[in-house]
Amino acid sequence: MKKRLLLTVLAGLLALPLLIGQAHAQIRIGLMAPLTGSWASEGQAMKQIVDLLAEELNNAGGVLGQKVEIVAEDDAGDPRTAALAAQRLSTRGIVAVIGTYGSSITEASQNIYDENKIVQVATGSTAIRLSEKGLRYFFRTSPRDDEQGLVAATTLKDMGFGKVAILHDNTTYAKGLADEAQALLKDSDVEIVFFDALTPGERDYSAILSQLRARAPEVVLFTGYFPEAGLLLRQKKGMGWDVPFIGGDATNNPDLVSIAGKEAAESFMFLSPPVPQDLDSPEATSFMAAYRAKYNDDPASVWAVLAGDAFNVIVAAIKGSGSTEPDKIAEYLRTGLTDFEGLTGTIAFDDKGDRVGELYRVYKVDGEGRFILQP
Amino acid sequence: MQLFLEQLTNGLAVGGIYALIALGYTMVYGVLKLINFAHGDLFTIGAFLGLTLLLSLGLTDHIGPVAGIIVLALMVMGLVAVIGALLERTAYRPLRTSPRLSAVVSALGASIFFQNAIMLIYGARFRVYPHDLLPTTSISLFGVDIPVMRIVLFAASLVMMAGLYYFVQRTKTGTAIRAAAIDQGAAKLMGIDVNRVIMYVFLIGPALGGAAGMMVGLYYGQINFTMGWVYGLKAFTAAILGGIGNIPGAMLGGLLLGVIEAMGATYISLAWKDAISFMVLILILIFRPTGILGERVADKV
């Protein structure tokens, strides 16, 4: 009796690979995201969105007559874990991978995917060097830091500011953006009266604000993240200093307003890719409706939505090239995909795999603490 | 000149907070020769408990903001003191006769435990104190606008420090603490209950640290589970700067560190602010290895 049970179990175990092999007939798309760690909220939102889009696609019949399966792997927002995640995903028969959020995390996985001939579409990694390496299978739906720097510089010039202070926080992203903006502003007649970094994670920035005020800038460009931006706004108001602040896309987070308070946050401006709430394309509206129906909330972060766009372009490339061959998918993304209507606007890629077109918009915080898209 | 005065007040305000936290490090070191690495997290706990009590009890609505905040501060200090005493009981007392390293490892473990516990209970996102609790008026002194609340907070930290100094210097328990700091064995022979003394130290230090956490939450608004790390490191530096184990030294070290930071940021470089503070620390340790006021709980009156 016992023997028979054992045999059944063994037979079951032997049949398992066959069953998995069956599932293999589906098209597998990988998702590498920070599901734990300090960026966990971003990663979990990425997974929610990609899951939703895959479910919609499968209900509509899938692509090339096959269903799509999402294989998610956690990179914990850490380069070493990301390298492991990339190794693991590479062995699981995926045709393409979505992800990931941080630039240094993406960098740790790039070569692994490239060697394994897997198309990678990054979603939140904005560092310039990622696409300057000439990797054939690398794409990203997020913009690059130099584009943001350009938009920052043009916005400051267009608004007619003559004396600009630039403050960053010494992280790769913030320093890079500050350098880009500074270089672009130097060529014009804008005077940069201040360029330095604060230490993130502290609570009191009044010493920095005092020093900034002594230089009498007409506007302050802060390229760091939202927690520090919120404190700066709050303490600036506390000292009764009335100077406009402009932030980079890392300040696009509703927590900015709760930290600064509505009064202090009012009329703060920042640059960011548009959130789908602000787009009226049919793709964006139907996505928003589906997201609300499933998760009973609006997607908080634009970076998670860019993961949805990564999924959409991969599917479009499989459909368009009629194949799951990595070379054909990459080729189609580079040349065949034009004016694709994504969730965050029109998508096309240039030769390096960077997204083409102007993605950045200017947002302004109103008296109620809402982020209002500026015309 | 105006910038100098402004930075001086900025530095003193931050320094007052550093000093309050530094007292906890220095008292524990004075008596046990142990660096309580979990002290920064007790500061964080103070900030979070303050927020929880503030929101759940609504004291400021019932008895007015001033009385409400004072009651709240007393409750936070009491609760954090209890947590501090429990920490001593569970993490340090069993290891008191073990090699020094075991207690240090235990302290680091306690720190990680507290940090994760706070994250699991309150979440990893930033939490925010209500905004309209404190008045935002400022007064003008020598052409410098100073927010009234900053003066109040600075005064509050001075009062707490003065109270502690009086307690240690003038009361019987304070004398016992000083005696145990000089020589635990001899103190025991003189009939002092050393375990009790150590418990007092672990009640007072965390209470002050918890109060500092709540003050930071009230004044700056934003708190999160990792905030104890930066403040703990700075306060620890301040304690060494003044002479670890030395109570007036911790106060002086805290205020000095705040001012050095503000001045370094203004006249040298913003990005190098922390490096400058630590450079000053290194210089002082080279030329005066026991810190500015020397390494001992003050045993002279």
The CA distance from A224 to the nearest CA of chain B, in Å, is 13
Q: How many of the other CB atoms lie within 10 Å of CB of A5?
A: 9
Residues A234 and A211: beta-carbon distance below 8 Å: no
Tens-place pLDDT, residues B133-190 = 777 788 887 777 788 888 888 999 999 999 999 999 999 999 999 999 888 889 999 8
Q: Where are the alpha helices (DSSP H) in A133-225?
A: 145-158, 172-186, 206-214
**Which of helix, strand or coil describes residue B175?**
helix
Chain-wide mean pLDDT for chain A? 88
Nearest CA to A117 out of A95, A92, A86 is that of: A95
- pLDDT at residue A330 in the model: 94
* Rounded-to-integer distance, Cα B111 and Cα A339, Å: 53
Chain A contact for B128 (CB, 8 A cutoff): yes
The CA distance from B175 to the nearest CA of chain A, in Å, is 36
- pLDDT at residue B296 in the model: 56
Which of B150, B259, B270 to mutate against chain A (most A CBs within 10 Å)?
Answer: B270
Of A40, A170, A207, the CB nearest to B271: A170
Chain A contact for B41 (CB, 8 A cutoff): no
- pLDDT at residue A106 in the model: 92
Count of positions (residues) in chain A = 375
Which of A166, A239, A241, A255 to mutate against chain B (most B CBs within 10 Å)?
Answer: A239
Of B125, B136, B265, the CB nearest to A255: B125
Say if residue A45 is exposed, middle or buried (CB neighbours under 10 Å; 0-12, 13-18, 19+): buried
How far from chain centre, in Å, is Cα A106? 11
% chain B with pLDDT above 70: 98
Residue B202: band (very low, low, confident or very high) from pLDDT cuts 50, 70, 90? very high
Residues of chain B with Cβ-Cβ distance to A229 below 8 Å are none
Residue B271: band (very low, low, confident or very high) from pLDDT cuts 50, 70, 90? confident
Tens-place pLDDT, residues A176-230 = 889 989 999 988 888 999 999 998 888 889 889 988 999 999 999 999 888 899 9
Residue B301: band (very low, low, confident or very high) from pLDDT cuts 50, 70, 90? very low
Please determine, for residue A1, whether its predicted confidence score (pLDDT) is greater than 60.
no
Please report the residues numbered 205 through 264 in chain B whose beta carbons come closer than 8 angstroms to any beta carbon of chain A.
Answer: 216, 220-222, 224, 226-227, 229-231, 261-262
- pLDDT at residue B106 in the model: 94
Q: Check A196 against B270: CB less than 8 A apart.
A: yes
Of A199, A210, A231, the CB nearest to B220: A231
ipTM of the complex: 0.82
* Rounded-to-integer distance, Cα A266 and Cα A367, Å: 5
In terms of CA atoms, which chain B residue is nearest residue A175? B271
Of A203, A237, A255, the CB nearest to B220: A203
Please determine, for residue A314, whether its predicted confidence score (pLDDT) is greater than 90.
yes
Mean per-residue pLDDT for A116-141? 91
Residues of chain A with Cβ-Cβ distance to B138 below 8 Å are 238-240
Considering only A18-32, A169-183, A348-362, B42-56, which range has the smallest mean pLDDT? A18-32
Residues B192 and B123: beta-carbon distance below 8 Å: no
Please determine, for residue A260, whether its predicted confidence score (pLDDT) is greater than 60.
yes
Find all residues with CB under 8 Å of B220, minimum gap 6, and list them.
A203, A204, A231, A234, A235
Residues A131 and A144: beta-carbon distance below 8 Å: yes
Q: Check B124 against A38: CB less than 8 A apart.
A: yes
Please determine, for residue A288, whether its predicted confidence score (pLDDT) is greater than 50.
yes
Tens-place pLDDT, residues B143-155 = 777 888 888 889 9
Pairing of strands A269-272, A361-365: antiparallel
- pLDDT at residue B297 in the model: 45
Of A40, A41, A207, the CB nearest to B262: A207
Q: Check B229 against A231: CB less than 8 A apart.
A: no
Tens-place pLDDT, residues A75-95 = 988 889 999 999 999 999 999
- pLDDT at residue B17 in the model: 93
Please determine, for residue A48, whether its predicted confidence score (pLDDT) is greater than 70.
yes
Please determine, for residue B32, whether its predicted confidence score (pLDDT) is greater than 70.
yes
* Rounded-to-integer distance, Cα A88 and Cα A74, Å: 10
Q: Check B125 against A261: CB less than 8 A apart.
A: no
Please determine, for residue B298, whether its predicted confidence score (pLDDT) is greater than 70.
no
- pLDDT at residue B107 in the model: 93
- pLDDT at residue A77 in the model: 83
- pLDDT at residue B207 in the model: 95
Residues A81 and A74: beta-carbon distance below 8 Å: yes
Of A198, A230, A237, the CB nearest to B270: A198
Chain A contact for B145 (CB, 8 A cutoff): yes
Chain-wide mean pLDDT for chain B? 88
Tens-place pLDDT, residues B207-226 = 999 999 999 998 888 898 88
Phi, then psi, of B212 in degrees rounded to 5: -60, -40
Considering only A67-71, A97-101, B110-114, B271-275, which range has the smallest mean pLDDT? B271-275
Cross-strand pairs, A342: A345
